[in-house]
Amino acid sequence: MKIAVLGAGMVGRAIALDLVKDFSVTSFDVNVANLALLKEKNERITTINTDLTAYEHYPEWLSVFDLVVTAVPGFMGFKTLEAVINTGKNVVDISFFPEDALQLDALAKENGVTVITDCGVAPGMSNFILGRYNAEMKVEAFEAYVGGLPLHPQPPFNYKAPFSPVDVIQEYIRPARLVENGKIVTKPALSDRELMDFGKAGKLEAFNTDGLRSLIFTMGHIPDMKEKTLRYPGHIDLIIALQQSGFFDITPVIVNGNNISPLDFTSKLLVNEWKLGETEEEFTVMKVIVKGEGKRITYDLYDQYDPVTQTSSMARTTGYTCTAAVNLIANNIFIQKGVFPPELIGYRKECFDFVLGYLNKRGVQWVKTTS
């Protein structure tokens, strides 16, 4: 089987390197340096340097492939996914774009393709878990806590971003949608802060972010749902200070006769401050809680940078969930046509068990407890 991976960033490279063990893989990216890093690690991967916003060329570029993975930045994710669907190719997406992917369901069915969206760690694995237990019991509440953090934090921010600082800032300013008492409520991002103990990861600060995404619509019968992001204590105080001072505003200001967006300026400054080094040690910590019928089911994850493969934990936990989904399609375990967020696949026990087993073989271990 021939697979095209669109995007060769940190996660896109991890996806390509995992898939090439079993498939013929071609990676597309506009960044020559990203493609060179990929080629250094495995010469079997074909690399193509091109502008992935040239959607009119997709029918030509993708004609020889059996399946496509879209790992492009969020701002171009929806159009990229739409263009791939129009080529008639099955696709797994981890672009995490702001638009509603379910809007493309009719198009996917019309083209006879299977589309799995939001297939990372969160959203992604948290959705698989909720989908599985929603099929088994009457779920009354769902909570997810997730963070990717440097193992050796450096002040003042004590944070490194495994992806674009712009995307991180958007997470900090986009209003958070939660479900409380059966109703969708909107709260400011960074609200409802609480200090929580995450064992090996230590005490971290949890706060509201807009992470529920498709769950708001597909699991709307569940009375209470929330997702919170995790950071080292003190980080959010700095972010709030920047926000209140106007550093995240998008309206341009005039500086020496030039129109400059404060958000663009801030992002440029934070690129180096927040840039995660290629071999910098970091970890991913996550807790998913499903409550119902008098039971509390918890899945915990703690995963660190892999020095052997030089793969970041965020790339492992996100990328390998995606490649597990690729294998669901490639091995004909999941063959339905249309657009499916992970919760609509995880309800099937064979799919859920396959994904967990796939991750476990790669050292990404979820620990389940029931109380």
Question: Where a domain ends, among 275, 293, 313?
Answer: 313
Total number of domains constituting the chain: 2
Question: Is the same domain home to 116 and 130?
Answer: no
CATH number for position 168: 3.30.360.10
Within the chain, what is the greatest distance between any pair of CA atoms?
A: 64
Question: Where a domain ends, among 313, 344, 362?
Answer: 313
Question: Is the same domain home to 53 and 25?
Answer: yes
C-alpha 334/C-alpha 337 separation (Å) is 9
Per-residue pLDDT, 101: 95
Per-residue pLDDT, 176: 95
Question: Is the same domain home to 197 and 287?
Answer: yes
Question: Is the same domain home to 71 and 151?
Answer: no
Question: Is the same domain home to 300 and 318?
Answer: no
Give the other-Cβ count within 10 Å of 130's Cβ.
26
**What pTM did the predictor assign?**
0.94
Buried b (16+ CB within 10 A) or exposed e, 240-274: eeebeeebbeeeeeeeeeeeeebbeebbeebeeeb
Question: Is the same domain home to 117 and 252?
Answer: no
Question: Where a domain ends, among 283, 313, 343?
Answer: 313
Q: How many residues does this entry show for the chain? A: 371
Per-residue pLDDT, 36: 97
Question: Is the same domain home to 309 and 170?
Answer: yes
CATH number for position 107: 3.40.50.720
Contact between 27 and 35 under an 8 Å Cβ cutoff? The reply is yes
Reference 343, options 33, 117, 130; nearest CA is: 130
Coil, helix or strand at residue 280: coil
Question: Is the same domain home to 153 and 287?
Answer: yes
> How buried is residue 56: exposed, middle or buried, by Cβ count under 10 Å (0-12/13-18/19+)?
exposed
Question: Is the same domain home to 137 and 92?
Answer: no
Question: Is the same domain home to 201 and 294?
Answer: yes
Range of the domain at 136: 125-313
Question: Is the same domain home to 60 and 139?
Answer: no
The pLDDT averaged over each successive group of 10 residues in the chain (371 residues) is 96 96 98 95 97 97 98 94 98 93 97 97 96 97 97 94 79 94 96 96 96 94 97 96 94 93 91 86 97 98 94 95 98 97 97 98 97 95
Question: Is the same domain home to 100 and 213?
Answer: no
